[in-house]
Amino acid sequence: MLVVMDKNATPAQVEAVVAKVESLGFAAQPMPGGERVAVAILRNPGPVDPSLFLDMPGVLQAIPVTRPYKLVSREVKREDTILHLADGVELGRGRFVVMAGPCAVESEIQALTIAARVKASGAQVFRGGAYKPRTSPYSYQGLGKAGLKILQKVRQETGLLIVTEAVDHDSLKLVAEYADIIQIGARNMQNFTLLRRAGQLGKPVLLKRGMYATLEEWFMAAEYIMAEGNPQVVLCERGVRAIGEHARNLLDLATVPAVRRESHLPIMVDPSHAAGRRDLVSPLARAAVAAGCDGLLIEVHHEPEKAMSDGAQSLYPDQFDQLMRDIQTLRPGGWN
């Protein structure tokens, strides 16, 4: 249920609705909109009687929410969410953001070299894992805290914002200290305690789609973050398990318009982890932009043949630069 307040409702009237919801044993989350505040009722096991609220001062409407996800849903919030990243960078409808960099932070010189190139090509955010969730325990696991310190240096030297992945509760605390955007990877999309904690830190969260996740499961994962009071979530499609060997995963571009229809959250695309091969990345990225996504996450490496992880799918900086030019023409009106 969504209790929609009148345009002129006072903060005290909103508070009274919140108190009423809590007195019923449910949770309430006020959601300020462009014109009016709405109060979402959460944790109610069944339908709530609208007449409990309709007579309260300042209440305009009480609308049942039919979807299992509430805060994520366009039923609850019609306007597109714009994420306010650090340094005035915005992400969301009409505010396109490119995040680029290596799969993993390997050394200071590696990170700074790649960062300078992706910045020159127009990326606003640097990506690079300090904690790597690897399929094999024998594969490179990342530099950990030392990697975060390198990312901090990248930020200081280039002004690029930082997105990096947290893989568990310990790394989450550190990532939140160093990163501008916390990445939750495909393998952790349903790590519910991690999602809750990520929702408590007050930093934007980039939530990858799990490799077997339906749209509804993905939305419910975002709901975990938002239910902790953090509305700053961006979804990122990165491909799902598929048949055939021609690509690592199947990039599901139908999610771009489908997410747009069902949710107000921004939707990004990561063609790199879908492709698994460098030659597929730019065509998929162009298709994602044409489909209307709000941003791209792209792996770039200056020496991919020496990369500690995902070298085969990392673009050379020149290829990334060409891609950035190509997508300009796909976005009439430029970047924003």
Minimum distance, C-beta of residue 196 to ligand PEP, in the bound complex (Å): 19
Minimum distance, C-beta of residue 186 to ligand PEP, in the bound complex (Å): 4
Q: How far is residue 130's CA from residue 174's CA, in Å, rounded to a whole number?
A: 10
End-to-end CA distance of the chain: 35
> Counting contacts by CB under 5 A, is residue 106 touching Mn ion?
no
Q: Which is nearer to ligand PEP, 101 or 317 (CB)?
A: 101
Cα radius of gyration (the chain):
21
Closest among 96, 81, 64 to 225, alpha carbons compared: 81
Minimum distance, C-beta of residue 320 to Mn ion, in the bound complex (Å): 15
Q: Which is nearer to Mn ion, 161 or 281 (CB)?
A: 281
For residue 27 the two structure tokens come to: 């949770």
Closest among 42, 34, 32 to 2, alpha carbons compared: 42
Could you tell me which residues are beta bridge partners of residue 84?
A: 90
Residue 6 φ/ψ, nearest 5 degrees: -65, 155
208 is in the binding site of which of Mn ion, ligand PEP, none (Cβ under 5 to 8 A by kind)? ligand PEP
Q: How many CB atoms are located within 10 Å of the residue 162 CB? A: 25
The answer to whether the CB of 59 falls within 8 A of the CB of 36 is no
Binding pattern for the stretch 264-303 against Mn ion, x by CB under 5 A and - elsewhere: ----------------------------------------
Q: Which is nearer to ligand PEP, 2 or 105 (CB)?
A: 105
Minimum distance, C-beta of residue 187 to ligand PEP, in the bound complex (Å): 6
The answer to whether the CB of 29 falls within 8 A of the CB of 91 is no
Q: Which is nearer to ligand PEP, 5 or 181 (CB)?
A: 181
Q: Which is nearer to ligand PEP, 208 or 278 (CB)?
A: 208
Q: How far is residue 157's CA from residue 18's CA, in Å, rounded to a whole number?
A: 46
Strand order in the sheet with 37-42: 27-32, 37-42, 2-5, 59-63
| Interface with ligand PEP (CB under 6 A) | 103, 129, 133, 165, 185-187, 208, 238, 270, 273
Residue nearest to ligand PEP (CB): 185
Minimum distance, C-beta of residue 127 to ligand PEP, in the bound complex (Å): 7
Closest among 317, 207, 319 to 267, alpha carbons compared: 207
Closest among 25, 118, 27 to 3, alpha carbons compared: 27
Q: Which is nearer to ligand PEP, 29 or 171 (CB)?
A: 171
Q: Which is nearer to ligand PEP, 185 or 266 (CB)?
A: 185
Minimum distance, C-beta of residue 18 to Mn ion, in the bound complex (Å): 43
213 exposed, middle or buried (CB, 10 Å; 0-12, 13-18, 19+)?
middle
Minimum distance, C-beta of residue 208 to ligand PEP, in the bound complex (Å): 4
186 is in the binding site of which of Mn ion, ligand PEP, none (Cβ under 5 to 8 A by kind)? ligand PEP
Q: How far is residue 173's CA from residue 182's CA, in Å, rounded to a whole number?
A: 10
Minimum distance, C-beta of residue 272 to Mn ion, in the bound complex (Å): 7
Q: Which stretch binds Mn ion (CB under 5 A): 74-82, 95-103, 135-143, 233-241?
A: 95-103
| Residue selected from 3, 103, 275, 284 as contacting Mn ion according to rule CB under 5 A | 103
Residues that bind Mn ion (CB under 5 A): 103, 310
